[in-house]
Amino acid sequence: MARKRKRSLLEQVINSPAEKEESTSPKLTKYWLQRYNLFSRYDEGIEMDEEGWYSVTPEEIAVKQAERCRGKVVIDCFSGVGGNTIQFAKVSSSVIAIDIDPVKVEMAINNALVYGVDDRVDYVVGDFIHLAPSLKGDVLFLSPPWGGPMYNKVETYTLDMLQPKDGYKLFQIAQTITPNIIMFLPRNVDLAQLEELAWLSSPPLTLEIEENCVGGRIKGITAYFSCSAV
């Protein structure tokens, strides 16, 4: 039986003529118009909270990132509403999806059900930083909060702007689990800092930087760190 789709709060606002002009947040309306770039199966019951609208990885990018993890055990450390988790689940041997917000985890489970991959993911409500000592995996995916949509207002985005810990600290924690680390970061990130992460590691790591585009526009930067090809 098909699940009856609940309208998101944003849809309710957008579809209410009396309230649209005064109540619709322009920043969220922009993402609403891109909803099929975020989830191609959006109309089949995808659920997102406000933060999810501007933080989920566009599906086209998530697919490319997942291809690097084929057949691996992947840890999605800040899984949010599950955009990356879904794509990892399609190609990897298993996925551990972690988020500190139980509401987001529930949405991620729902969204994985929409894509038919819910049985390939272990969901954990918790803080990745505290859970790290107990985690084991082949590839670790880091897409921590960028600080909201205002990240693109600065000329250069530095790793200390990442949340809840600066990028250097998060990277150090990740390295205690695996040297194969994928970071999804703002398009204006300081590339020199990413190179620093690689060569300051012991032993130094290989780094590949990829510009991620959707519709001809750069949406972010993916950094692939490894001691060998992931």
| Measured distance between the N- and C-terminal CA atoms of the chain, rounded to whole angstroms | 39
48 has a pLDDT exceeding 70 = yes
d(CA 64, CA 221): 12
pLDDT at position 25 over 90: no
pLDDT tens-digit series, residues 29-42? 888 999 999 999 99
Report the sign of the C-alpha dihedral through residues 200, 203, 208, 212, in that order.
Answer: negative
**Where are the chain's structural domains?**
26-227
Domain made up of 26-227: CATH architecture: 3-Layer(aba) Sandwich (3.40)
* pTM (whole model) above 0.95: no
